Amino acid sequence: MTEQSNTGSGSGPLQTERGNTTIADSVVSKISGIAAQEVDGIRMGSGASQTASNLLGSITGGGGGSQTQGVSVEVGQEEAAIDLTLTAEYGKSIPQLAEAVRRNVSNRVESLVGLRVTEVNVTVQNIFFPQQEEEQERQRQIEQQQREQQQQEQQRVQ
């Protein structure tokens, strides 16, 4: 990332006469991950990291790590460069998805954080099939219901 330094006081929305605002990398990462996932047909991370995250989320009941999964940022005083690794939906145009992600991430980071986005690099690591995901989710729900029923039966016996 190339950063232009501006020595004047009040040179941008984050440097004013009344003080400076510093944005943590984790804030830009989270906003970038959320913005990328707002584009229909996108999942953050590669297929393997999604599976691990889904498994962890089902165990812990969470899944908050998916917002920054596959996101790497370089944040300066006035600029940010963002690298995204994602999975695209099969059947959708990858160049169009990548451009929509770039546009949405840039708009969100610039409007919410006040940093100029110099670049958004997109790596498409994998593809996913929505019908397969829906079937797998239905199967997980059935298995969860069966486990809950077994637990209830065991509690009745005791």
Q: What is the CA radius of gyration of the chain?
A: 21
Q: For residue 47, what pLDDT band results from cuts at 50, 70 and 90?
A: low
CATH architecture of 22-46+65-129: 2-Layer Sandwich (3.30)
pTM score of the predicted model: 0.69
Beta strand pairing status for 116-128 and 79-89? parallel
The predicted structure's pLDDT at residue 8: 41
Share of the chain above pLDDT 70, in %: 79
* The token pair that represents 1 in the structure block: 């990332």
Phi and psi at 44, nearest 5°, equal -80, 150
The single-letter DSSP state of residue 84 is: E
Tens-digit pLDDT profile for residues 69-116: 899 999 998 999 999 999 999 999 999 999 999 999 999 999 999 999
The predicted structure's pLDDT at residue 15: 83
Map out the domains of the chain as residue ranges. 22-46+65-129
Closest CA to 39 of 73, 83, 88, 82: 88
CB atoms within 10 A of CB 136: 12
Q: Is the pLDDT of residue 39 over 80?
A: yes
DSSP-based three-state secondary structure for 112: helix
